[in-house]
Structure 1
C-alpha cells in the first residue's frame, strides 16, 4: 500500500504522526516531537507516547491491501511500560501483530528516539469495528455512511 494514501484520523495528524511503512502485521510511524508534546522536563510527555503506541499497536491489525477500502478497530485495553528518556525530538514507533482472530486482535509496539534508545513499550487488545473483520475491509463510501448514521 502507498503510505501516502493512508486515511488517518485528525488526531494523528494533530500530533504529527507520519506513517512511513505499513503492511500486513507491521507499521512504522515517525514523529518529530514539538515543544507542546513535552512535559515540564522537556522530554516527550507520557500521554504523547501512549497515543503513539496506541496507533502503532493498532495499525498492523487494520491494514487493508485493497485500494479505497478501510478497516477500523477500537482499543479495548493497553498496557504501557516507560523504560527510557528521549535524547532527541525525532521519534519512531514500530508496531506488529501478536495474534489475531475474527473479532479481536493483539498488537505490540515500541517507541525509540533517533539514537535508538528504547523509550516505551506497549501491548494492546483491539476489537474490529463492524465491517472490518474481513481482511478486504469495507469501501470508504460504506464506512462514511456507517459513521454518519
Structure 2
C-alpha cells in the first residue's frame, strides 16, 4: 500500500474594507480627479475590491494614475502563479481611474472592453507590483486608455488597452454638432 501524500497546510486570509458610500449622488458631487485624490488621501473609502488585491494609489493626475498591488498565494491559479484575473483587475482599475480622473462632476464611466497581454508570470515572490494607466484619447462618449504592470526591477509583466463609456446624468451625451437640435 502506498503512503498518502501529506496535504498542504491550510492558510486563511481576512479582508477588511470600508463600506462603500450608499448615497451614490454624493460620490458625483466632485470631479473625477477630486474623487480619486480624496480616496488616495483616505478622506473617502476606496472600493472594496482594493482590499482583495492590496490596491493602493501612488499618484493621481489628470488622465494619469499610478497604483500598487500586492499579489499573494491567495491569488494563485491551479499552476501556482497569480491568476490572470488579478492582472486584469489591476489593469482595468488603473485604466478606469485614469479615465475617471478626466471627468467633470456628475459624470461617470464604465469599462466597455479591455485587452490584456500577459508577458511574465507573477507569484507571491514577485512582491508588490506597480500599475500605470494613462488616457490616450478622450471623446465625449468614449475614452481610451493604456496601462502596464511592472515589478520592482522595472520589468513589464502585463499591458492593457481599454475602452470606457462615459456616462452622463440621465444618459444624455452632449452634442456639439451643428444642427437644429443644437441651435
Place the TM-score, normalised by the shorter chain, in its bin: 0.7 to 0.9
The secondary structure found in structure 2 opposite 1:59 is helix
Q: Per-residue displacement from partner, 1:76-124 (whole Å, max 9, x unpaired)? A: 1111111112361211100000100111100110011112221110001
Report SS of the residue matched to 1:39.
coil
Aligned match of 1:97? 135
Distance 1:64 1:98, change over 3 A: closer
Q: Does 1:9 pair with 2:47?
A: yes
Q: Give TM-score scaled by structure 2 length.
A: 0.63
Indicate conservation of the 8 Å contact 2:106/2:168, yes or no: no
The residue that corresponds to 2:108 in the other structure is 72
SS at match of 2:80: coil
Aligned to 2:7: none
Q: CA deviation at 1:9?
A: 2.1
How far, CA to CA, are the matches of 1:24 and 1:121 in structure 2? 21
Are 2:66 and 1:31 aligned?
no
Partner in structure 2 of residue 81 of structure 1? 117
**Deviations 1:6-36 (CA, angstroms, capped at 9, x unpaired):** 6532122322210111111111110111211
Kindly tell me the number of residue pairs found equivalent between the two proteins: 132
Point out where structure 1 has 5 or more consecutive residues left out of the alignment: 135-149
Q: 1:16 to 1:72 in 2, by over 3 A?
A: farther
Closer, same or farther in 2 for the Cα pair 1:82/1:117, shift >3 Å?
same
User: Secondary structure of 2:121's partner?
Assistant: coil
- Contact kept, 8 Å, 2:63 with 2:102, in 1: the verdict is no
Q: How many Å separate the matches in 2 of 1:6 and 1:59?
A: 15
1-structure distance, mates of 2:44, 2:60: 9
1:146 matched to which residue of 2? Answer: none
* CA gap 1:108/1:65 in 2 versus in 1, 3 angstroms: closer
How much does 1:64 deviate? 5.9
The structure with the larger Rg is 2
Greater percentage in strand: 1
Q: For 2:126, what is the secondary structure of its paired residue?
A: coil
The DSSP-based 3-state class of the residue aligned with 1:73 is strand
